[in-house]
Structure 1
Amino acid sequence: MSKPYVQAGEPLNEFLRSFWQRQVDAAEQETPDYRHPPLPLARIKKVMKSDPDVKVSTSYLKLALK
C-alpha cells in the first residue's frame, strides 16, 4: 500500500487519480453492518418527530439512510 502523500517527482494528477481510486476500492470492499448502523437512528427519529416542520414519515427513515 502506498503512502497518502505525494512523493518527490510524482505528478499531482497521477497521485490524485490513484488516491481516489484507492478510496473507491476501499469503500466498495467494505461490508456494512446493518445491526449497528453508523448513524443513531433512534435519535434521528426522535428529532424528526419533535420538529413540526418535518413532513416526512419516520417509517421511511430507515430506507433513506440505508
Structure 2
Amino acid sequence: DILCIANLQHNCIDSKCTEHSDAYVRQERILTTRTKAVVKHQPTLLYFLNMYSIHNYDLIRSILPD
C-alpha cells in the first residue's frame, strides 16, 4: 500500500556529479542564444529529504533509520 508521497532531491555534491556540457535555453519553445550547464549525474543512493516542510513527517520519520 502507498501511505504517502515524499520528495527526494539528488545529492550532486557528495555524488561527485559534474558539469557535462552547455545547452541552449528555450523560451516559449524558441531557442535563445543563452546557455545553461547540463549536469552529468552519477548513479548514487545519496538523496536529500526535507522532513521539516512536509505534511507526512511522522509517517516518514517512523520508517527512517536512526
Q: TM-score, normalised to structure 2's length?
A: 0.25
TM-score in terms of structure 1 length: 0.25
More helix by share: 1
Rg larger in structure: 1
The structure whose RCO (Cα within 8 Å, separation 6+) is larger is: 2
